[in-house]
Amino acid sequence: MIRISSLKKAVRDLRYLLNHEYPRESAVNFVSNHYRMHLEERHLLVRCVFSKAEINAHQRKAVEAAGVKGKRLGVDGYNILITTESILTGKQVILCDDGYIRDLRAIFGKYRSGPDTARAIKAIVKVVVKSAPKETLVLFDKQVGHSGELASDFRERLRLSGLKGDSFAVGGVDMKLREFDVAASSDRAVIEKSKAIWNLPAEIVRTRKANLMDLKNLK
């Protein structure tokens, strides 16, 4: 449970520290400890609060669906899948300082397919079809259990949709995403190194009700 009153103060203070170039990890730890943030609140601070310089840099990379048309699209498999599942199941998702939508589940390395996985895959592919990329590759970290099965499920859904593309379980997903014209991810490391970034979960949020918190409203 996120405590809004404490979170407002923590977000305000962390923004201040980041804007004054304090190291991110030290700033997050200081603010989290000061306001006694629990794990979900700390995760929000880590993933969703940015300096003005970071916000500008991330937004310069952002493209809408129209910017994907005719391009090679690389999808950060776990990143996009987990966020989409959160949206579809009513779990808390955040419209972060930099305009990207992120979840707070922190389950990447422990992810397991569940009853909502197939629905999320279908929703993702449906959005990608509308954006009309030249080619789509969905990449999963092979070090996470059952990544091969997930890649296979995505591959079949891409085939059924008529999209040109494929899905693989590979090592070094972040590095490989940099090679594409556009990457679909909200991971900070991917955003900073990629040519262009598509905020794919935002397209899904536009078509359905979501448990969405906009950090800009916490000012």
pLDDT in tens, 97-108: 999 999 998 776
User: pLDDT 10s digit of each residue in the chain, 219 long?
Assistant: 678 889 999 999 999 999 999 999 999 999 999 999 999 999 999 999 999 999 999 999 999 999 999 999 999 999 999 999 999 999 999 999 999 999 998 776 678 888 999 999 999 999 999 999 999 999 999 999 899 999 999 999 999 999 999 999 999 999 999 999 999 999 999 999 999 999 999 999 998 889 999 998 876
Burial of 120 (0-12, 13-18, 19+ CB in 10 A): buried
pLDDT of residue 111: 85
Distances (CA, A) of 143 to 114, 171, 172, 174, 209: 19, 7, 10, 13, 33
pLDDT of residue 15: 98
Nearest Cα residue to 75 out of 188, 158, 182, 172? 182
Tokens read off for 196: 């262009």
Residue partners of 29: CB distance under 8 A and separation at least 6: none
Q: What is the DSSP letter of 71?
A: S
d(CA 137, CA 170): 11
d(CA 156, CA 32): 43
Q: Are 215 and 48 in contact (CB under 8 A)?
A: yes
pLDDT of residue 112: 84
pLDDT of residue 65: 96
pLDDT in tens, 28-78: 999 999 999 999 999 999 999 999 999 999 999 999 999 999 999 999 999
pLDDT of residue 38: 93
Q: How remote is the C-alpha of 92 from its chain's centroid?
A: 13
d(CA 107, CA 109): 6
Q: Are 204 and 84 in contact (CB under 8 A)?
A: yes
User: Tokens 């300082």 label which residue?
Assistant: 97
pLDDT of residue 25: 96
d(CA 26, CA 24): 6
Cβ neighbours around 209 below 10 Å, total: 8
